Structure 1
Amino acid sequence: MKMNPQLSRRLLLGGLAVALLAALAWVALRTGPLAPTKVQVTEVKKGSVSPAIFGIGQVEAQRSWMVGPTVAGRVLGVQVDVGQTVQPGQPLAEMDPVDLDQRLAALDASLARAQSTQQAAGRGLSARASRMRLTSTLIARPPRGGLKLAAANLKRNEDLAKQAFISAGALEARAQEVASANAGVAAAQANLGGSAQDIARLRAERAALAQQRGNLKLVAPAAAVVTARDAEAGTTVVAGQAVLRLMDPASLWVKLRVDQGRSAGLAPGLAARITLRSRPGEALAGQVVRVEPLADSVTEERLAMVAFDALPAGVSVGEMAEVTLQLPATADSLLLPNAAVVQHEGQTGVWRLKDGALAFAPVTLGVQGLDGTVQVITGLDEGDTVVLYSQTALKANARIAVVEQLLPAGAKK
């Protein structure tokens, strides 16, 4: 019995359609949107973590100086250049004195005149004292008994006047002579004291001007190296502006910046491994000598100063450095790769695979090592299987396929 060709054609087309639908369903379930999510898993183990703090810093000088004038002026000359080593007290530069030398000369002349005036006042006082001694009158600085002698003479004249041996006019003239001599001596003493005060004032003014003149000579405050020359001869600078910048090459250290979220345990005394940008394959030993009390609120970093145990040669200020600070190792505890930790619905945890079912397990974490290992305080048990990497975002009871290694999208096996 022959089959109807039209029916055979329909059966063939129907079979092809069923095969095509089966192929599409297989593709959708294995590689399409309905396919299980490929994941790579790991096991929770026990061990010890050696936590460390990592940060980036730059080389700076602990002791540096900005050398400049205390008053505004014009630079007369600069005697040193960048890179030159200077010694304490060595002249570095000089400012233009303008009229300071002439003002010093004027003060010297005024001081000499005041000294001459003082000498003249002293000679006048001596002359008046001599005349008073000759006439037995009161002098400015009489010898012992001089006042008593003058008083006795005056008393005798008063007695003689009472007995009418001398006239009242003569007695009055003698008293006037004593008063006049006393006034002259007092005036001479005042002139002498004023001359001494003028001399003291002029000497103080000259000392101040001489110090101001000396400040125009810029000298090295300590043994240092010139790092910058900010002004040249003829440049006008203001008070406090740097003409030269110096640093102590033996005081270099690293100003380290550490993320505040990873700075737990940062303290002075921690051992450090310093890797300079110019020496990428060499780890230099150092130590944290100071932790700054003020953190950077903009970059959310803490600052620390790390000193070299042995300062290497050729280190330049401003060079970048990577610093690793080693903290004490923890006791044995549960460990987990940091890549397995995720955030889900506002909680920190991991995706745990138990009896073939996927569930989110919140965890409490401890310290973390630089190798990515993190300490698990609560939430997991030893031997638990957790998702390390997943092809897409996971959700509870999602269909998954565990693979040995998760390949990136587009990669070929």
Structure 2
Amino acid sequence: MTTITRLRPGLIATVTVLSALATACSKSAQTEVPLRAVRTLVLSETGGVVAREFAADIRARSESRMGFRVSGKVLKRSVDLGQRVRPGQVLAQLDPQDLSLNQEAGRAGLAAAEANAAQAEADLKRFGELRAQGFVSDAVLERYATSAKAAQASLRQARAQAGVQSNQASYATLTATASGVVTAVDAEPGQVVSAGVPVVTVALDGPRDAVFSVPEDMGPALRAQLGRTGGIQVRLWGRDEWTLATVREVAASTDTLTRTFLVKADVGPGGGELGQTAIARLNTSIHADGGLRIPLQALTERGGRSAVWVLDARSMTVQAQPVTTGAISGNVVLVTQGLKPGQEIVTAGTHVLTPGQKVKRYEGPVKLSAQAGENK
């Protein structure tokens, strides 16, 4: 038998009111817009800067492309890619058979020249004695004196030739001149190579450079940083801290294909592993002829037009400001119309903003190395 419990009308009304209140509260909580934290940048005629970043890689200050000083067939290669080498270590060796034969020929030629010189000296001495006794004429003595001089000249030539051939025999062994790491191997055993052709490339131990390319418009800015300690900052891949670097070299002309300048910045002997990826950052002025430079990530799209979120510092709300853009260089875009100095724009967090939304400025942790670079 089933028992049916009937609720009193007053209790039903109370439950209905509580349910309506709970629904209203949940809707109110869902409609609340969170207070977003955004990064901002104040546009200024002077003193304003924007960071421009470029992909770089760590290279050795000096790389030696080592090859044999004579031609020949590679007999063996004693090192592999990535192997560390020390001064005097054998890197590769040529087949020494032909070089040894040349060395023997040089020695034989030297012996023959020594014998001829000795015979010419003896003849000159003998005919000198005969001339003193009046048995030969002056013409005969002069002829033997000339022969002795020629024999001495041939002897000097033979000695020099023997020395060259002896040196060439020693050139069959390629040795390291300094400590470093093998970064390239260009020859294998059995290959015939010409004199001077690179066989092994060794990155020498010592200072390291961050090497990167910049667009044409950045050439003057980088040249202004030449020799200045901390002119740029470098961050190695996988690390958070920025380290100060010194611009050491800027190419005199652009690359014919990429139209970019090659830049080398000194990061010191402990500036990372060879070939490691890095980011090079340079702070440049916001103001430019014909507009203002802003980070590319500050741009957004509103109604089919490019726009920038402008922050009102009094109300801490944002509004979309349509802008006209110009040339884009790396991660920086030139705004020709729509912005003016003194405005504060949002550079990070633009994709979650709505017109009139209240925001707050993001205050993240500041690395000591980065702070030192910004204050410098």
Q: Secondary structure at the match of 2:299?
A: helix
- Using the size of structure 1 for normalisation, the TM-score is 0.56
8 Å CA contact 1:276–1:322 kept in 2: the answer is yes
For residues 257-311 of structure 1, the C-alpha deviation after alignment (integer angstroms, 9 at most, x for no partner) is: 223346662232253332223x143433322222222123543433211221562
8 Å CA contact 1:335–1:374 kept in 2: the answer is yes
RMSD: 4.7
Of stretches 228-237 and 57-66 in structure 1, the one that deviates more from structure 2 is 228-237
Residue of structure 2 in register with 1:129 after alignment: 128
Q: CA deviation at 1:73?
A: 1.4
Of stretches 180-189 and 261-270 in structure 1, the one that deviates more from structure 2 is 261-270
Residue identity in the other structure for 2:164: A
8 Å CA contact 2:50–2:294 kept in 1: the answer is no
RCO higher in 1 or 2 (8 Å CA, sep ≥ 6)?
A: 1
Residue of structure 2 in register with 1:290 after alignment: 249
Distance in 2, matches of 1:130 and 1:45, equals 105
Unaligned stretches of 5+ in structure 1?
1-43, 138-176, 353-359, 386-401, 406-413
Question: Structure 2 vs 1, CA of residues 102 and 307 (structure 1 numbering), >3 Å: closer, same or farther?
Answer: same
Q: CA deviation at 1:197?
A: 1.8
Residue of structure 1 in register with 2:356 after alignment: 404
Distance in 2, matches of 1:335 and 1:198, equals 76
Identical columns (%): 23
For residues 373-405 of structure 1, the C-alpha deviation after alignment (integer angstroms, 9 at most, x for no partner) is: 9899998587899xxxxxxxxxxxxxxxx9436
Question: Structure 2 vs 1, CA of residues 122 and 229 (structure 1 numbering), >3 Å: closer, same or farther?
Answer: same
Distance in 2, matches of 1:51 and 1:194, equals 78
Distance in 2, matches of 1:208 and 1:384, equals 75
Residue of structure 2 in register with 1:274 after alignment: 234
Number of residue pairs matched? Answer: 292
Distance in 2, matches of 1:252 and 1:46, equals 36
Q: CA deviation at 1:78?
A: 2.5
Residue identity in the other structure for 2:274: S
8 Å CA contact 1:274–1:284 kept in 2: the answer is yes
Residue of structure 1 in register with 2:99 after alignment: 100
For residues 86-130 of structure 1, the C-alpha deviation after alignment (integer angstroms, 9 at most, x for no partner) is: 333433222112322222222222222222222222222222222
Question: Structure 2 vs 1, CA of residues 210 and 382 (structure 1 numbering), >3 Å: closer, same or farther?
Answer: closer
Q: Secondary structure at the match of 1:82?
A: coil
Distance in 2, matches of 1:264 and 1:349, equals 30
Q: CA deviation at 1:312?
A: 4.2
Equivalent runs, 1:6-155 vs 2, <5 Å: 49-133=48-132, 135=133, 137=134
Q: 1:322 aligns with which of 268, 279, 298?
A: 279
Residue of structure 2 in register with 1:195 after alignment: 151
Question: Structure 2 vs 1, CA of residues 329 and 120 (structure 1 numbering), >3 Å: closer, same or farther?
Answer: same
Q: Secondary structure at the match of 2:278?
A: strand
Residue of structure 2 in register with 1:12 after alignment: none
Residue of structure 2 in register with 1:208 after alignment: 164
Q: Secondary structure at the match of 1:266?
A: helix
Q: CA deviation at 1:341?
A: 11
Question: Structure 2 vs 1, CA of residues 382 and 222 (structure 1 numbering), >3 Å: closer, same or farther?
Answer: closer
For residues 133-162 of structure 1, the C-alpha deviation after alignment (integer angstroms, 9 at most, x for no partner) is: 3x3x3xxxxxxxxxxxxxxxxxxxxxxxxx
Q: CA deviation at 1:182?
A: 2.0
Q: CA deviation at 1:74?
A: 0.7
Q: Secondary structure at the match of 2:137?
A: helix
Residue of structure 1 in register with 2:177 after alignment: 221
Question: Structure 2 vs 1, CA of residues 262 and 101 (structure 1 numbering), >3 Å: closer, same or farther?
Answer: closer
Question: Structure 2 vs 1, CA of residues 281 and 95 (structure 1 numbering), >3 Å: closer, same or farther?
Answer: same
8 Å CA contact 1:336–1:376 kept in 2: the answer is no
- Using the size of structure 2 for normalisation, the TM-score is 0.61
Unaligned stretches of 5+ in structure 2?
1-40, 311-320, 346-353, 358-376
Which protein is richer in strand relative to its size?
2
Matched, 1:250 2:249: no
Distance in 2, matches of 1:265 and 1:287, equals 13
Distance in 1, matches of 2:269 and 2:309, equals 48
